[in-house]
Amino acid sequence: MDKMWSGRFSAGASSLLDKFNASIMFDRKLYREDIEGSLAHAAMLTKQGILNSEELAQITEGLNQVINEIESGEFEWKISDEDLHMGIEKRLTAIIGDAGKKLHTARSRNDQIAVDFRRYVLRKNLEIVEAIKLLMQEIIVVAEKHTDTLLPGMTHLQHAQPINFAFHLGAYLSMFKRDIERFESSRERNNISPLGCAALAGTPHAIDRDMTAESLGFDSVSVNCLDTVSDRDFALEILFNISTMMMHISRLSEELVMWSSYEFGFVELSDEYSTGSSIMPQKKNPDVPELLRGKTGRVYGSLMGLLTVMKALPLAYNKDTQEDKEGVFDSVETAEISLEILKEAIKTMQVKAHNMEKACAIGHLSATDLADYLVEKCNIPFREAHFITGRAVAKGEELNVDLSKMDFKYLKAIDERINEDVMEFLGLRHSMNARTSAGGTATKRTLEQLEYFKNYLQGK
């Protein structure tokens, strides 16, 4: 009968219940947030005359000792204490005596966990943003070397039009910038303090919620306590934000896997970030991007898991909510290591520009340019120009020669109106550089895009 809530019970809890019910083995990760919350709460209770300064001094000293014990590994985390809130409070009371028993005045574990978990998530939103920025910087370093490196731009995984490699990487920079914006806006929206909501309905004690909100770094206090103790939108948002970011990481990873195959040969991952086979001595496997792709699935699982936990909960707090933490911790840790290892893999990979350019020589990548030429120079309606170009492509297939290398006489034979100057238009680099419309692949546009991302990262 050593439970804090044992007053109304006559029999002790079964050890099976302890095991099933406890969150202490995972929520202990929040010990700093929890103790900072307690320190802020105690200072506020003292200012309001609910605790005296002697009690505050004891609580402060006791909690600092608890931090030291936790960080030195001395602290004993016990399943029977159920969660970190009770584990810490119990230890505090053992150290300082009666003052420790007053700390929980005007507070509940319901607002306490809402404070701890929310602050953890708010902090992680920012830390992940910083890690995305480092990844973007590394992508920019690679991109800047390849603003004139041609590779086949694809749709349906079929050769479509020539683009440059920096432009391709710029697509990922765009995705990661949106990711950053999502993490930042989640942080802004959710930066409100639950402390003082108590169990669900507020408290009759004369507390000052603004004071604790401010000392814990929240922008404001929450408006409705019933909502606040059961709201886990902030946790769902970080799971969604991580899921979307991992989806982007996974798309890039998929390309890295393909590009490092013999068939593509566009990149070679460094030895440091590749693995071998236990049986096939020649193998060099892209485990890093494969795992990044795989881990994305696990993160989605956590998002779906928490959405499902929340979907039928009556107001306000329900124990189901305790299932919110492990998936978030796991997803945050996955995001952190994923961003770091992807950054290193990109930094150390070798870009095989020669193979990228070679791949452009097949697939008639400048076919659209021929159609555009017919429209612009010969005043032919686009639909007809499309058909004529189709004939030229068919001729190329028959001769087994790419449109960009086809002898002019064949083109002339297909349509009289085509002149010799067409050959310049069919050149692959010309094709890439012709796409100068806003956001296009032309080297000069790509350079502008890289400048845009660099300015963004510098906060300009």
Kindly list the residues in this chain that would bind ligand ARG in the complex (CB under 6 A). 23, 27, 83, 109-110, 113, 317, 319, 321-322
The pairing of strands 150-155 and 158-164 is antiparallel
Pick between residue 108 and residue 368 the one whose CB is nearest to ligand ARG.
Answer: 108
Give yes or no for a contact between 47 and 109, defined as CB atoms under 8 angstroms apart: no
Tell me the closest approach of the beta carbon of residue 223 to ligand ARG, in angstroms.
21
Tell me the closest approach of the beta carbon of residue 360 to ligand ARG, in angstroms.
56
Pick between residue 317 and residue 329 the one whose CB is nearest to ligand ARG.
Answer: 317
- Residue 366 and residue 43: Cα distance in Å, rounded? 71
Residue 104 is a catalytic residue: no
Is the bond into 316 cis (omega within 30 degrees of 0)? Answer: yes
Pick between residue 90 and residue 177 the one whose CB is nearest to ligand ARG.
Answer: 90
Tell me the closest approach of the beta carbon of residue 290 to ligand ARG, in angstroms.
34
**Size (the chain), residues:** 460
Q: Which residues contact 106 (CB under 8 A, 6 or more apart)?
A: 41, 45, 50, 196, 198, 203, 205, 207
- Residue 47 and residue 35: Cα distance in Å, rounded? 18
Tell me the closest approach of the beta carbon of residue 20 to ligand ARG, in angstroms.
12
Tell me the closest approach of the beta carbon of residue 23 to ligand ARG, in angstroms.
4
Q: Report how far apart, in Å, the C-alpha atoms of 437 and of each of 150, 308, 314, 322 are.
A: 18, 45, 53, 52
Nearest to 163 by CA among 155, 174, 152, 172: 152
Tell me the closest approach of the beta carbon of residue 263 to ligand ARG, in angstroms.
50
Active-site residue, selected from the candidate residues 10, 156, 278, 437: 156
Retrieve residue 346's tokens.
């990109």
Give yes or no for a contact between 40 and 215, defined as CB atoms under 8 angstroms apart: yes
Pick between residue 115 and residue 450 the one whose CB is nearest to ligand ARG.
Answer: 115
Helices (H), 195-286: 209-215, 225-230, 233-259
Active-site residue, selected from the candidate residues 185, 205, 277, 354: 277
- Residue 324 and residue 326: Cα distance in Å, rounded? 6
The pairing of strands 220-221 and 192-193 is parallel
Pick between residue 170 and residue 196 the one whose CB is nearest to ligand ARG.
Answer: 196
Collapsing DSSP states into helix, strand and coil, what is residue 313? coil
Residue 277 is a catalytic residue: yes
Read off the DSSP letter of residue 322.
G
Pick between residue 319 and residue 460 the one whose CB is nearest to ligand ARG.
Answer: 319
**Location of structure tokens 């902090």:** 123
Positions annotated as catalytic residues are 156, 277
